[in-house]
Amino acid sequence: MVTQGTAAVRVGVIGVGVIGGDHIRRLLHAVTGATVVAVADADGARAQAVAEEFSIPRTHASGAELIADPEVDAILVASWGGTHEEYVVAAIAAGKPVFCEKPLATTSQACLNILAAEVAAGRRLVQVGFMRQYDPSYRAVKAELASGRLGAPLLAHCIHRNSSVTHSWSSEMMLNDACMHEFNIVPWLLEDDVVATQVLHPRPNSDAPAGLADPLLVLMHLRGGAIADVEVTMNGHYGYDVRAEVVGERGTVALPDPAAPLVRFEGTRSAHVALDWRERFETAYDIEMQEWVDAVVAGTSTGPSAWEGYVATAGAEAAVASLSSGALEPVDVIERPALYS
Ligand code: NAP
């Protein structure tokens, strides 16, 4: 709970790597109503360096210590996925709002443990970092679908292309990490649940690290009968490219290409393609962080919930099962607790 009368929400950040550092910069320079007062990271030297870079007053030896700090009002978790459960559950136990980067947790059982803690607390404290819900172009597509004039959605065609990845990437990570975003955004756009999924893999790109099934084609079957196909590519070479088109009964709606000047030069017509996710979704991350801070100040929770985190992880888990079996795998989830209705 934010202390009454404080000028700004005092945020403590756990995990100050790539996105943790970006969020700190955002909270300090792009967002109003928040400040960062403490950091913690498994790499203590990195935490210290980030604290010095941003003039953050305290560096804690552990995430648990940061969560217990009475000068910290709200927690931002940006360590790797396998650590999220512990920190999110501890933040809930401390009664502090917590923004958790995706995935909420790496297994559906860990997500269920978080849901149980939040349900026991009796109020929503968790927001998951599904930033696409804040991207203006995704919001425009959702508004068009909500207008109803296209009729019921029948199909969605999605693309999630990266330029290249390091050798540490596995085929499972393509589902758990990259396609995790589509396991959230497809149900959000279509306002429906993914009930089964199947993963197909064509001939792998010879430029991909050995053993990486790149690209993948992920089929998502929704409860109402719509089907989404998602191409997940890790070595697309030309840039970072996220697309979506929803086919309705009377028309279609697609994400526009991000605004970039059209250049005509020496016999070509060209436009810049984003190089990575940071560039493509910069505005979305800024809006996401502002709306989280605003909700914390208001004592509410408005963003992607722990429930959404759970069902996305369950979807990715079923996709990983399909990667081995080749079969259409069910996405089994519990009945939605009333807290998330
Ligand atoms: P990263 O650069 O590796 O940063 C993670 C940091 O957390 C590292 O400094 C790491 O230290 C530290 N850490 C590891 N275990 C820890 C623990 N138990 N307690 C505290 N700190 C710990 O990773 P990243 O790319 O920023 O990703 C972090 C999270 O954000 C992941 O869950 C990722 O999926 C998510 N993410 C989301 C988006 C999005 O679009 N929403 C984009 C990027 C990342 P070591 O290096 O010593 O392990």
Q: Which residue, by CA, sits nearest to atom 20 of ligand 1? A: 41
The percent of residues above 70 in pLDDT, for the chain, comes to 98
Hey, how many other C-beta atoms are within 10 angstroms of the C-beta on 65?
A: 15
Q: What is the mean pLDDT of the chain?
A: 96
pLDDT exceeds 70 at position 4:
no
Hey, how many other C-beta atoms are within 10 angstroms of the C-beta on 315?
A: 29
What span, in angstroms and rounded, lies between the C-alpha atoms of 231 and 2? 42
Q: Which residue, by CA, sits nearest to atom 48 of ligand 1? A: 42
Question: Is the CB of residue 177 below 6 angstroms from any atom belonging to ligand 1?
Answer: yes
Q: How far does residue 46's CA lie from ligand 1's centre (Å)?
A: 12
Q: Pick from 132, 141, 140, 181: which is nearest to 280 by CA?
A: 132
Whether residue 25 contacts residue 54, with contact meaning beta carbons closer than 8 Å, is answered with: yes
DSSP secondary structure letters along 250-306: S-EEEPPPPP---EEETTEEE-----SHHHHTHHHHHHHHHHHHHHHHHT---SS-H
pLDDT exceeds 80 at position 25:
yes
Question: Is the CB of residue 118 below 6 angstroms from any atom belonging to ligand 1?
Answer: no
Residues 30-45 have a mean pLDDT of 98
Q: Please state the atom number of ligand 1 nearest to the C-alpha of residue 19.
A: 26
pLDDT exceeds 70 at position 3:
no
Question: Is the CB of residue 19 below 6 angstroms from any atom belonging to ligand 1?
Answer: yes
pLDDT exceeds 50 at position 26:
yes
Question: Is the CB of residue 35 below 6 angstroms from any atom belonging to ligand 1?
Answer: no
pLDDT exceeds 90 at position 166:
no
Whether residue 312 contacts residue 183, with contact meaning beta carbons closer than 8 Å, is answered with: yes
pLDDT exceeds 50 at position 5:
no
Q: How far does residue 274's CA lie from ligand 1's centre (Å)?
A: 22
For residue 288, give both structure tokens. 């996401």
Q: How far does residue 105's CA lie from ligand 1's centre (Å)?
A: 12
pLDDT at residue 56, as a whole number: 98
Residues 69-74 have a mean pLDDT of 98
Residues 202-223 have a mean pLDDT of 96
pLDDT exceeds 90 at position 293:
yes
**Structure confidence by residue, pLDDT tens digits, 243-275:** 999 999 999 999 998 889 999 999 999 999 999
Q: Between the CA of residue 103 and those of 151, 183, 238, 249, 313, what are the distances in Å?
A: 32, 11, 26, 33, 7
Q: How far does residue 63's CA lie from ligand 1's centre (Å)?
A: 13
Residues 176-201 have a mean pLDDT of 98
Helix (H, G, I), strand (E, B) or coil at 43: coil
Q: How far does residue 15's CA lie from ligand 1's centre (Å)?
A: 6
Q: How far does residue 52's CA lie from ligand 1's centre (Å)?
A: 19
What span, in angstroms and rounded, lies between the C-alpha atoms of 240 and 205? 17
pLDDT at residue 243, as a whole number: 97
pLDDT at residue 6, as a whole number: 52
Question: Is the CB of residue 67 below 6 angstroms from any atom belonging to ligand 1?
Answer: no
Q: Which residue, by CA, sits nearest to atom 34 of ligand 1? A: 102
Question: Is the CB of residue 288 below 6 angstroms from any atom belonging to ligand 1?
Answer: no
Q: Please state the atom number of ligand 1 nearest to the C-alpha of residue 40.
A: 20
